[in-house]
Amino acid sequence: MSQDYISKIKDAGIVGAGGAGFPTHVKLDSKAEVVIINGAECEPLLRVDQQMMEFYSKEVIDGLRIAMIQTGAKKGVICLKGKYKKAISNLQNLLKDESSMELKIIKDYYPAGDEQQLVYEVTGKVVPLMGIPLDVEAVVINVLTTIHIARDKPVTERVITVTGAVEKPQTFIAPVGTTFGELIKACSGPANLNDYSLIVGGPMMGYVEENWNAPVTKLTGGIIILPKNHSLIIKKTRKTVVDLQLTKAICCQCSYCTDMCPRNIIGLNTEPHKVMRGLANEDPSALGAISSVVSCCNCGLCTLYACPMDLDPGKITNMVKQSLLKKGAKTEKIIPYEVDPLRESKKVPTKRLIARIELSDYDVAAPLIHSIFETRNVKIMLKQHIGVSATSIVRVGEPVTKGTLIASCGDNLGANIHASISGKVINLTDDYIEIQA
């Protein structure tokens, strides 16, 4: 495999579909011992990766093979949960004669899909502070990204689960740029939008979006509609100033947030209770070491599961982390502690988490619709990834066909953008290109 192949992946605009949107051509331009496909899909209610592995198992394996050749990895592992029985059976059938590839079946816990947890489950190694999986000779790729690698075509669709307070939860293959509103309508979503809010992404790490006509990007894995008075919406929309006041008033320093923090459990001394203490006492020296903050992965477990006082240690820790990183704070690439010997028993079962965040009523199937969702209008964002925005190369009024390159990242870190439907460019701004069929 060669730089030609890296160029092809770059041309196709493939980015990590698991959330961060790191350009895949950069990730695969490296050498590793093992390629791990992240099929753990740990965010409650989302049903994308599990169905992709079930229905597109061959492409998952083909993509894994390409990634292994590209990185020189001798081993490929698809890591997924034991409850994805159909996906396991389909993948196992295809892997019968593959000596260098295997499945790693894990428990149904949160956050199993965090790269740190996944790498540890597969290799028994911990990625050091401020490190990446490559530090332990591993490359981690999302399921959908793997399928894009196998297809070797411009990324024009995104697979997305639409669920929550809708009559028919479904998983769509939607052209990039489709509005949330159209997908919600196709699921017979609520008629009176004033009483509902939507979370983009999963319930744990997703954010509340005010604009129901916001467009799907290459990274949008889920839309969850919930009543405005649902505890999750109330917590996620609480103002930071209130969070800080509450921290000062009622954080009792029980340190449950730290005890249950998956990054702390894996040996990275993430200590949200110290961050809370530092803020409550207005004493920066009480915050703890830099490493106790920068290792936070924003999983939200401390906030939505551990804290008995309804505080938001996750948000506060992440805020302090962003501010430290902005100031250029660095820490050594070390693993400060041993993995907690009680890690297995401290894993939070997803079912229990779902009950704790009051989503049990919405924990239902969201079947995959195999045909591409039909839309006549798309708004395609120029920045859907880590790196610089892509620069438009089309003009208003120009006809485009599906798959045409419409914005390029050139030689910068970023990703190319393609037309997701055939039609005419009707609007062009610094942020997006709008195409009408």
Distance separating alpha carbons of residues 180 and 172, to the nearest angstrom: 11
CA 203 vs CA 44, 128, 170, 208, 281: distances in Å: 7, 27, 16, 9, 31
Map the footprint of ligand SF4 across residues 294-333, applying CB under 6 A: 296-302, 306-307, 309, 311, 313-314, 317
Applying CB under 6 A, which of residues 179, 255, 291, 375 lies at the interface with ligand SF4?
Answer: 255
- The rounded distance, in Å, linking the Cα atoms of 232 and 129 is 30
Binding to ligand SF4 in span 269-298, by CB under 6 A: 270, 272-273, 276, 296-298
* Cα–Cα distance measured from residue 25 to residue 412, given in angstroms and rounded to the nearest whole number: 12
Least distance in angstroms from the C-beta of 271 to ligand SF4: 8
Torsion sign over Cα 116, 117, 120, 125: positive
Candidates 249, 254, 364, 396: give the one binding ligand SF4 (CB under 6 A).
254
Residue 72 CB neighbour total at 10 angstroms: 12
If binding means CB under 6 A, how many residues of this protein chain bind ligand SF4?
Answer: 27
- The CB-of-353 to ligand SF4 minimum distance in angstroms stands at 12
> Which H/E stretch holds residue 400?
strand 399-400
DSSP three-state, residue 344: helix
Residue closer to ligand SF4, measured from CB, 292 or 389: 292
CB of 234 to ligand SF4, least distance (A): 17
| Closest distance of CB 294 from ligand SF4, Å | 10
CA separation for the pair 230, 221 (Å, rounded)? 21
Q: Is residue 364 at the binding interface for ligand SF4, with CB under 6 A as the rule?
A: no
Q: How far is the CB of 384 from ligand SF4 (least distance, A)?
A: 24
Of 68 and 276, which CB lies nearer to ligand SF4 in the complex structure? 276
Q: Binding segment for ligand SF4 among 39-47, 162-170, 253-261, 281-289 (CB under 6 A)? A: 253-261
What span, in angstroms and rounded, lies between the C-alpha atoms of 68 and 65? 5
> Quick one: which of 232, 251, 378, 406 contacts ligand SF4 (CB under 6 A)?
251
Nearer to ligand SF4, 12 or 118 (CB): 118
CA atoms of 171 and 174, how far apart (whole Å): 9
d(CA 420, CA 401): 8
d(CA 123, CA 158): 30
Compare residues 163 and 292 and give the one whose CB is closer to ligand SF4: 292
Which of 253, 323, 422, 436 lies at the binding interface for ligand SF4 (CB under 6 A)?
Answer: 253
Which residues bind to ligand SF4, rule: CB under 6 A?
Answer: 251-257, 261, 263, 270, 272-273, 276, 296-302, 306-307, 309, 311, 313-314, 317
